[in-house]
Amino acid sequence: MQAQDFLKAKFREYYSTHPIEGPPSIEQREFGTGDFGIKINQRHLHFRTRDELNQFLREQAPFYISYSNACYLYPDRRPMEAKKFLKSDLVYEFDADDLKTDCKQRHDSWRCAKCNASGPGLVENCPSCGQRVERVEWVCDECLGEVKKQVFRLLDLLANDLGLSQGISINS
């Protein structure tokens, strides 16, 4: 059994025992899916109900699934203008690897394919030959802690500075 087949079976098994809640206003969302090595290979998918979404997940078991933060009158139509935009969620995304944390010097590394130099931390170009380097980035508890601090700063700003406190959800 190939790795792809094994993973597909595991995803199918998971989806058969763990129903997905799905987004609010599911019937107004456009979905996209992807498979092994291809993040999005199918777009303009539309599910009328949570049950329909879960049936699709059990049958197709995609490796990736995402939905639009916009709501449309006709989410499965093409081109985009035919979808008839209704509204949109405001989405903030915090990635641990985008934050400049001191711990990256301990757990991240780089390697130069040209001269084979390597070292800890992150650099853009090899200090020996100037060639662009391959980077290996990790996320640790300290990185995640920094992400949490940023999320709480945003929540504080939304609630205390802008008066927005309802309809907020956090996905991890």
Question: What is the structure's pLDDT at 1?
Answer: 62
Q: Provide the mean pLDDT of the chain.
A: 94
- Residue-wise pLDDT for 14-28, tens only, equals 999 999 999 999 999
What is the average per-residue pLDDT within 95-111?
91
Question: What is the structure's pLDDT at 122?
Answer: 85
Q: In the predicted model, is pLDDT for residue 33 greater than 80? A: yes
What does pTM read for this prediction?
Answer: 0.71
| pLDDT level of residue 167 (50, 70, 90 thresholds) | confident
3-state secondary structure of 84: coil
Radius of gyration of the chain (CA): 21
Candidates 75, 49, 63; CA nearest to 10 is: 63
How far from 4 is each of 7, 9, 71, CA to CA, in Å?
5, 9, 33
Give the residue, 109 or 122, on which the prediction is more confident: 109
User: Cβ of 7: how many Cβ atoms within 10 Å?
Assistant: 15
Q: How many CA atoms lie within 13 A of 123 on its CB side?
A: 16
Q: How many angstroms separate the CA atoms of 142 and 165, rounded? A: 28
3 CB burial (10 A radius; 0-12, 13-18, 19+): exposed
